[in-house]
Amino acid sequence: MPENELIRFFRGNLPIGIGTIESDLTIVEIAYNAGITIPTNCTSGTCGTCLVRLKKGFIDYPEDLPPGLDDFLVEEGGFLPCCMMPKGECEIDIIPPL
């Protein structure tokens, strides 16, 4: 992964911060380093507390979706940043796709 790739975080259409992608960091950790809090509980993808929406870019989804995520949410751009990593630059809305 090239250095200095960024994740832009939004609350709806309001930009709230930018994080730098680092190897082996989940998106929740990247957000935290950028001063952005995404609520979490289990940090393993089980509870769904951290559900957010991918606006642009790609996420590394596991082959088997974690219990806190289903195909419908994925179709709506949903993912669990506590246990997923970006595949390059992306834009993320911290408001879930509900």
Per-residue pLDDT, 98: 75
Distances (CA, A) of 20 to 34, 47, 85, 89, 93: 8, 26, 12, 9, 16
Higher-pLDDT residue of 17, 43? 17
More confident residue, 3 or 5: 5
| Positions of E strands within the chain | 6-11, 14-20, 52-56, 59-60, 78-79, 85-86, 90-93
Amino acid type, 58: F
Architecture per CATH, domain 6-93, reads as: Roll (3.10)
Task: State residue 3's pLDDT score.
Answer: 62
Tokens 């993320």 -> residue: 92
In Å, the largest CA–CA distance within the chain is: 33
CB atoms within 10 A of CB 93: 20
pLDDT of residue 67: 94
Report pLDDT digits (tens) over 18-68: 999 998 999 999 999 999 999 999 999 999 999 999 999 999 998 899 999
Q: What ranges do the domains of the chain cover?
A: 6-93
Residue 10 β-bridge partners: 15, 93
* Confidence (pLDDT) at 2: 52
pLDDT confidence bin for 97, thresholds 50/70/90: confident
